[in-house]
A and B are shown apart, each in its own frame.
Chain A
């Protein structure tokens, strides 16, 4: 008797979403099977990694995270170029840390000027991530949408509390939105419905289920993402058939397990290795759960994930 690998019957497909514009555009999604189930067919687009940069020098990163970007952390344009030229970034995620009302609270105009400079300097897709403050994001991201018309940015987070104005601007100026919900499958679905009611085409939405690091509830993120994919692929839930983005780097590098220096806690071992592995393993878990884009930081963690993706997808 010949052994046959049991196969799952799929009835749905994840929508293809194209990020960025022109020649450098990247298409994600399109799956007709669970993540890395290549034996069941459909994974037309492999997961992508977006390298994150910040619009202001971060002041709470451990040494290991800063080292690869020495000399560029106070200049987002050069930072982005370094990611592309030295680390082969396929996408850039610009985190608008400086706009945080509880931090530097920079104006929408200032933030937009930085976004414009970066988007004009690079040829790969640009993701622009706000601070999840509804009022401030509305102000900043609307302005960004307007000034960067035609650049096909990926804009977020767009949440149930602020989706109307931000998504309307994204729609008007032709950008893609990141539909962000607080680790809850029902709320994720609801936001996609609301965005649909507003007239946002599905090909312009990517979902952010809200993720956290290993040790900080990643099991829950995994479970929600897994259920989203089950609903999308096996229960014909067309409101959930969208690619998923995971903004994971900052979640891993802010944990105390990563930030504590070896001198303080010798038992934890080499801080650099720890940070890289924490980031890479967290990203891997999310890719296995169905992530289509992971936002990552450390070049060595990225290298690890690229190798794993290649290994899992070459027969």
Chain B
């Protein structure tokens, strides 16, 4: 699985001010740390970047490329900033992201072709968030068609089905998984990617990784191609790298409806099993889900 490190982000307490002040040191340290943690890409999230976004993204790309040759994901809603990032990139970039909103289609989609980049195809429609798996399918078909029309092959499209926080609406997580099980039929050759940490948004920070890891294992059942993740969650990275096959098969068995005998599991397995149950909606989520 391809892992995209999420830690260079404008909302981070260290990175945010560094971006603002063009202070390269904290950013380069973060880039090096992420690289040594073993991720494949670094996501460069500068947010909406309405003012001088192009200059900021170009500076950030240069700053990061000076210390690592990891591939880069250009994460901003400002198309001008995206283009500046593409121009600065030494290697093939990943554009994060193109949705079905008119501005993204008109301005960003052509850049995918022009700069021979990969793109994240975010399933966000004109009316916003898709409500279920079927609406995700419709959006995916539409988005892929638009990309193909410009000559962008499916292989360059990484579909993002949108992961929502567990505490918001559990049916959205089920819809995300359902959609993932259909993706290869709907859009053969397309890749997939998720913003994994969103699943645990709003939950106590010391418990977030339990949800992130377990949901990743669940997505792996549908051959998830890549995920944007916390670079410093070691267990998550081991899981993604196939180093925890027993946990993965426990999770996948549960998804097939085979409930394990809880008393036969070790502590870690129990934690994963309990987390599967809240993520697939069998048990309603509460912050104490691991304790009950």
Q: Give the contacts of B135-182 with A (CB-CB under 8 A).
A: 167
Q: Closest residue to B285 on the A side, CB-wise?
A: A186
Residues of A within 8 A of B (CB): 184-187, 189-190, 193-194, 197, 231, 235, 237, 239-240
Please state if B284 and A237 are interface contacts (CB–CB under 8 Å). yes
A235 to B281, CA, bound (A): 9
| Residue B185 at the chain A interface, CB threshold 8 Å | no
Asked if residues A240 and B284 are in contact (CB atoms below 8 Å), the reply is: yes
The answer on a CB contact under 8 Å between B282 and A239 is no
* Contact B288 A193, beta carbon cutoff 8 Å: yes
Closest-by-CB residue of A relative to B282 is A235
Cross-chain contact B284 with A193 (CB below 8 angstroms) = no
Closest to A160 in B: B287
Could you name 21 residue pairs across A and B whose Cβ atoms are closer than 8 Å?
A184-B167, A186-B167, A186-B286, A186-B287, A187-B286, A189-B286, A190-B286, A190-B287, A190-B288, A193-B288, A194-B288, A197-B288, A231-B284, A235-B283, A235-B284, A237-B283, A237-B284, A239-B284, A239-B286, A239-B292, A240-B284
From B282, B286, B291, residue with most partner A Cβ within 10 Å: B286
Q: Is the CB of A185 within 8 A of B292?
A: no
| B284 proximity list for chain A (CB < 8 A) | 185-186, 189, 231, 235, 237, 239-240
Q: Which residues of B contact A (CB under 8 A)?
A: 167, 282-288, 291-292
Main secondary structure of the interface of B (DSSP, over half): loop
Roughly how many angstroms separate A186 CA and B291 CA in the complex, as a whole number? 15
Neighbouring A residues of B291 by C-beta, 8 Å: 193
Residues of B with C-beta under 8 A to A186? 167, 284-287
B205 to chain A, nearest CB (A): 16
In the assembled complex, the Cα of A184 lies from the Cα of B285 at a distance in Å of: 11
Contacts of B283 in A (CB 8 A): 235, 237
Query: What are the residues of chain A within 8 A of B286 when measuring CB–CB?
Result: 186-187, 189-190, 193, 239
Give bound CA distance, A239 to B287, whole Å. 13
Q: Which B residues are CB-close (under 8 A) to A184?
A: 167
A189 to B167, CA, bound (A): 12
Provide the residues of chain B in CB contact with A197, threshold 8 Å: 288
One of A187, A193, A231 near B292 (C-beta < 8 A): A193
**Cα–Cα distance between A197 and B291 once the two chains are bound (Å):** 10
Bound complex: CA A190 to CA B283 (Å): 12
B247: min CB distance to chain A, Å: 25
* Residues in chain B near residue A190, CB distance under 8 A: 286-288
Residues of B within 8 Å of A187, CB to CB, are 286
| Chain B residues in 8 Å Cβ range of A237 | 283-284
Give, as a whole number of angstroms, the nearest-CB distance from A51 to chain B.
Answer: 33
Distance (Å) between the CB of B262 and the closest chain A CB? Answer: 15
* Distance to closest chain B CB from A242 (angstroms): 14
Q: Give Cα A165–Cα B264 distance, bound, in whole angstroms.
A: 39
7 A-B pairs with the lowest CB-CB distances in the bound complex, closest first: A190-B286, A189-B286, A193-B288, A186-B167, A231-B284, A190-B287, A186-B285
A235 CB to closest chain B CB (Å) equals 7
Question: How far, in whole Å, are A239 and B288 apart by their CA atoms in the complex?
Answer: 11
Q: Taking the nearest CB of chain A, how far is it from the CB of B280, in angstroms?
A: 12
A235 to B282 alpha-carbon distance, docked (Å): 7
Q: Tell me, rounded to whole Å, the shortest Cβ–Cβ distance linking A197 to chain B.
A: 8
Tell me the bound Cα distance from A44 to B22 in angstroms: 68
User: Would you give the shortest CB distance from B181 to chain A, in whole angstroms?
Assistant: 23
Nearest CB of chain A from residue B102's CB, rounded to whole Å: 31
Residues in chain A near residue B292, CB distance under 8 A: 193, 239
Q: A230 CB to closest chain B CB, in angstroms? A: 10
- The smallest beta-carbon distance between A236 and chain B, in angstroms, is 9
Q: Which of chain A's residues has its CB closest to B288's CB? A: A193
Task: Please give me the residue from chain A that is nearest to B283 by CB atom.
Answer: A237
How far, in angstroms, from A284 to B143 measured CA to CA in the complex?
A: 46
Q: Report the minimum CB–CB distance from B257 to chain A (whole Å).
A: 15
For the complex, give the distance between the alpha carbons of A159 and B282 in Å.
26
- What chain B residues lie within 8 Å of A240 (beta carbons)? 284
How far does the alpha carbon of A237 sit from the alpha carbon of B170 in the complex, in Å?
15
Nearest chain B residue, comparing its CB with the CB of A189: B286
* Min C-beta distance of A96 to chain B, whole Å: 29
What distance in Å separates the Cβ of B28 from its nearest Cβ neighbour in chain A? Answer: 40
CA distance A197 to B282 in the complex (A): 22
